[in-house]
Structure 1
Amino acid sequence: MVSKYIALPKGVTEEVFDVAISEFREVLGGDAVLTGAQQLAPYIKTMMPVADEEHVPSAALLATTVEQIQKIVAICNRHKVPVWTISTGKNLGYGSAAPAERGQVVLDLKRMNRILEVDKDLAYALVEPGVTYQQLYDHIEEHKLGLWLSMPAPSAIAGPVGNTLDRGVGYTPYGEHFMFACGMEVVLANGEVLRTGMGSMPNSNTWQVFKWGYGPYLDGIFTQSNYGIVTKFGFWLMPEPPAFKPFVIQYDREEDIVEIVDTIRPLRINGVIPNAVVIAHALYEAPVKARRSDYMTGPGSIPDEAVFRIMKDHKLGIWNVYAALYGTQEQIDVNWKIVRQAFGKSGKARILTEQEASGDPAFVYRAKLMRGEMTLKEFSLYNWRGGGGSMWFAPVSQARGSETLKQMALTKQILARHGLDYSGEFIVGMRDMHHIVDVLYDKTDPEQTKAAYQCFDELLSEFSARGYGIYRVNTAFMDKVAETYGPVQRNIHKILKDALDPNGILAPGKSGIR
Structure 2
Amino acid sequence: MAGKYIALPKGVSEQTFDAAIKAFRGVLGETSVLTSAEQLAPYIKTMMPVPDSEHAPSAVLMATTVEQIQKILGICNQYKVPVWTISTGKNLGYGSAAPAERGQIVLDLKRMNRILEVDKDLAYALVEPGVTYKQLYDHIAEHKLGLWLSMPAPSAIAGPVGNTLDRGVGYTPYGEHFMYACGMEVVLANGEVLRTGMGSMPNSNTWQVFKWGYGPYLDGIFTQSNYGIVTKFGFWLMPAPPAFKPFVIQYQHEEDIVEIVEIIRPLRINGVIPNAVVIAHALYEAPVKARRSDYVTGPGSITDEAVRKITKDHKLGIWNVYAALYGTQEQIDVNWKIVTQAFGKSGKAKILTEKEAADDPAFAYRAALMRGDMTLKEFSLYNWRGGGGSMWFAPVSQARGSETLKQMSLTKQILGKYGLDYSGEFIVGMRDMHHVVDVLYDKTNPDQVKAAYQCFDELVTTFSAQGYGIYRVNTAFMDKVADTYGPVQRNVNKILKKALDPNGILAPGKSGIRL
Q: Normalising to structure 2: TM-score of the pair?
A: 0.99
Residue identity over aligned pairs, in percent, reads 88
Check conservation: 2:2, 2:8, Cα contact below 8 A: no
Give the letter for the 2:24 counterpart. Answer: F
Check conservation: 2:296, 2:306, Cα contact below 8 A: yes
Task: Determine if the alignment matches structure 1 residue 377 to structure 2 residue 377.
Answer: yes
Give the letter for the 2:70 counterpart. Answer: Q
Q: Residue in 2 aligned with 1:275?
A: 275
C-alpha separation between the residues in 2 aligned to 1:405 and 1:197? Answer: 41
Q: Residue in 2 aligned with 1:429?
A: 429
Q: Residue in 2 aligned with 1:443?
A: 443
Give the letter for the 1:228 counterpart. Answer: G
Q: Residue in 2 aligned with 1:313?
A: 313
Q: Residue in 2 aligned with 1:76?
A: 76
SS at match of 2:130: coil
Give the letter for the 1:181 counterpart. Answer: A
**Matching of residues 83-232 of structure 1 within 5 Å:** 83-232=83-232
Q: Residue in 1 aligned with 2:303?
A: 303
What's the CA shift for 1:279?
0.4
SS at match of 1:156: helix
> Aligned in 2, Cα 1:474/1:2: closer, same or farther, shift over 3 Å?
closer
Structure 2: gaps spanning 5 or more residues: none
Give the letter for the 1:5 counterpart. Answer: Y
Q: Residue in 1 aligned with 2:411?
A: 411
C-alpha separation between the residues in 2 aligned to 1:175 and 1:406? Answer: 25
Task: Determine if the alignment matches structure 1 residue 57 to structure 2 residue 85.
Answer: no
What's the CA shift for 1:409?
1.3
Q: Residue in 1 aligned with 2:349?
A: 349
Give the letter for the 1:281 counterpart. Answer: H
SS at match of 1:430: coil
Q: Residue in 1 aligned with 2:467?
A: 467
Task: Determine if the alignment matches structure 1 residue 41 to structure 2 residue 41.
Answer: yes
C-alpha separation between the residues in 2 aligned to 1:2 and 1:290? Answer: 45
Q: Normalising to structure 1: TM-score of the pair?
A: 1.00
C-alpha separation between the residues in 1 aligned to 2:287 and 2:397? Answer: 26
Instruction: Give a deviation string over 1:376-422, Cα, whole Å, max 9, x none.
Output: 00000000000000000000011000102211111111101100000
**Matching of residues 315-330 of structure 1 within 5 Å:** 315-330=315-330
Give the letter for the 2:376 counterpart. Answer: L
> Aligned in 2, Cα 1:44/1:2: closer, same or farther, shift over 3 Å?
closer
SS at match of 1:224: coil
C-alpha separation between the residues in 1 aligned to 2:207 and 2:2? Answer: 51
Q: Residue in 2 aligned with 1:335?
A: 335
- Runs of at least 4 residues of structure 1 off by over 2 A? none
**Matching of residues 15-34 of structure 1 within 5 Å:** 15-34=15-34
Q: Residue in 1 aligned with 2:485?
A: 485
C-alpha separation between the residues in 2 aligned to 1:427 and 1:62? Answer: 35
Give the letter for the 1:436 counterpart. Answer: V
What's the CA shift for 1:330?
0.2
Give the letter for the 1:221 counterpart. Answer: I
Instruction: Give a deviation string over 1:439-492, Cα, whole Å, max 9, x none.
Output: 000000001000000000000000000000000000000000000000000000
C-alpha separation between the residues in 2 aligned to 1:127 and 1:362? Answer: 31
C-alpha separation between the residues in 1 aligned to 2:322 and 2:408? Answer: 19
C-alpha separation between the residues in 2 aligned to 1:210 and 1:5? Answer: 47
Instruction: Give a deviation string over 1:336-377, Cα, whole Å, max 9, x none.
Output: 000000000000000000000000000000000000001100
RMSD of equivalent CA atoms: 0.6
Instruction: Give a deviation string over 1:193-242, Cα, whole Å, max 9, x none.
Output: 00000000000000000000000000000000000000000000000000
Q: Residue in 2 aligned with 1:253?
A: 253
Give the letter for the 1:244 counterpart. Answer: F
Give the letter for the 1:204 counterpart. Answer: S
Give the letter for the 2:242 counterpart. Answer: P
What's the CA shift for 1:57?
0.1
Q: Residue in 2 aligned with 1:264?
A: 264
C-alpha separation between the residues in 2 aligned to 1:344 and 1:434? Answer: 25
Instruction: Give a deviation string over 1:280-334, Cα, whole Å, max 9, x none.
Output: 0000000000000000111000001100110000000000000000000000000
Give the letter for the 2:341 counterpart. Answer: Q
What's the CA shift for 1:2?
5.4
C-alpha separation between the residues in 2 aligned to 1:174 and 1:124? Answer: 12
Q: Residue in 2 aligned with 1:359?
A: 359
C-alpha separation between the residues in 1 aligned to 2:217 and 2:252? Answer: 46
C-alpha separation between the residues in 1 aligned to 2:253 and 2:420? Answer: 21
Structure 1: gaps spanning 5 or more residues: none
